[in-house]
A = this chain, B = another copy of it.
């Protein structure tokens, strides 16, 4: 950590900071400048807590050199994590990219089975489908609940696809984990830290979606919550952030994918459906995601988007999806 002193800081204030650093068993290293002094903190093992320095007077700024995460970083583990789902699906930076597809929400048996057969045939290996749906307002469809799990299990039995579904509450975890192969934590829950800790204690792979206003650092720190409880089977899912630009549903910077590859051994997949919100833009963005090196994509597919109870405009038809998969084949 670097402690930048105010330009008006007195020698007493500077000395007080140095003394505090020493009291923590660390070493102060003054760095004088023209207008102000900065003090380096030496000897720490990992992230230095800000608290002990916070109220000393005369401090202008605390700058961290270390990061608020460690276990998920390349510094800590240089080799890629490989996340294996039932059904022989493996997700990792150097694996063949995975394709997760299916409806936003489980609506009924026919809808799910039709979608599952179609995405299987087109080449997907994981089926998505929410049984609990987070919705902005309370007056819209909220998901079919637990009975949807049985429909997903039936689709898996028939097609061999692994299944991923979202958990929103801690008390859902046990029943959902008993069925699903892969547990999704949604963007709105990326900083629901209690939920993160609980999925950290379960022996199931977890997909953590980026929060819509989360920085890359916060995204990794959220994953750290899961990994530090013991569950190292974590896949990150980039789905764009909220900005002033509303032309598309979110703002997706694909440059973040190779950047994350430098920072973390956890694989990163991309969700072009939520990123764009528009059927006609999903295809190009999905291709671009693979080109920048994403470990996979997750795409919404619905047998009849016009009848979808949720996110219809960003769902591909089975035919669209089939064509997209053929185009992705040509990238390889």
Cα-based distance from A5 to B119 in the complex (angstroms): 31
Do A216 and B193 have beta carbons less than 8 Å apart? no
Q: Does A44 contact B (CB under 8 A)?
A: yes
Which residues on B sit within 8 Å (CB–CB) of A31?
Answer: 2, 29, 31, 40-42, 65
Q: Which residue of B lies closest to A169 (CB)?
A: B194
Per the bound structure, the CA–CA distance linking A168 and B242 in Å amounts to 24
Please measure, in the bound complex, the distance between the C-alpha atom of A251 and the C-alpha atom of B70, giving whole angstroms. 26
A32 at the interface (CB under 8 A from B): yes
A21 to chain B, nearest CB (A): 12
Contact yes or no, B221 A245, CB < 8 A: no
Complex CA distance for A189 and B176, rounded to whole angstroms: 22
Chain B residues contacting A44 (CB-CB under 8 Å) are: 33-34
A318 at the interface (CB under 8 A from B): no
Please tell me if A248 contacts chain B, counting CB pairs below 8 Å: yes
The chain B residue with its CB closest to the CB of A32 is B42
Which B residues touch A259, using CB under 8 A? 247-248, 278, 281
* A131 interface hit (Cβ, 8 Å): no
Instruction: Tell me the smallest distance from the CB of A245 to a CB of chain B, in Å.
Output: 6
In the complex, the chain B residue whose C-beta lies closest to that of A140 is B49
Instruction: List the B residue with the shortest CB-CB distance to A220.
Output: B137
Query: Closest B-chain residue to A228, C-beta based?
Result: B138
In Å, the complex CA distance between A143 and B134 comes to: 28
Instruction: Contact check, A255 vs B276: say whether CB atoms are below 8 A apart.
Output: yes
Residues on the B chain within 8 Å of A312, using CB: 50-51, 54-55
- Inter-subunit contact A247/B51 (CB<8 Å): no
A residues engaging B (CB < 8 A)? 2, 4, 7, 29, 31-36, 38, 40-42, 44-47, 49-52, 54-56, 63, 65-66, 68-70, 75, 134-141, 168-171, 188-189, 191-194, 197, 211-213, 215-218, 221, 224-225, 228, 240-248, 251-259, 262, 272, 275-276, 278, 280-281, 284-285, 287-289, 291-293, 304-310, 312-313, 331
Using A33-B44, A257-B284 as known contacts, list a sample of 20 further A-B pairs with CB atoms less than 8 Å apart, ordered by residue number in A: A2-B40, A31-B41, A36-B75, A49-B140, A55-B305, A55-B312, A55-B313, A134-B191, A137-B225, A138-B197, A189-B192, A213-B244, A215-B244, A215-B246, A247-B259, A248-B253, A255-B281, A258-B281, A258-B284, A287-B292
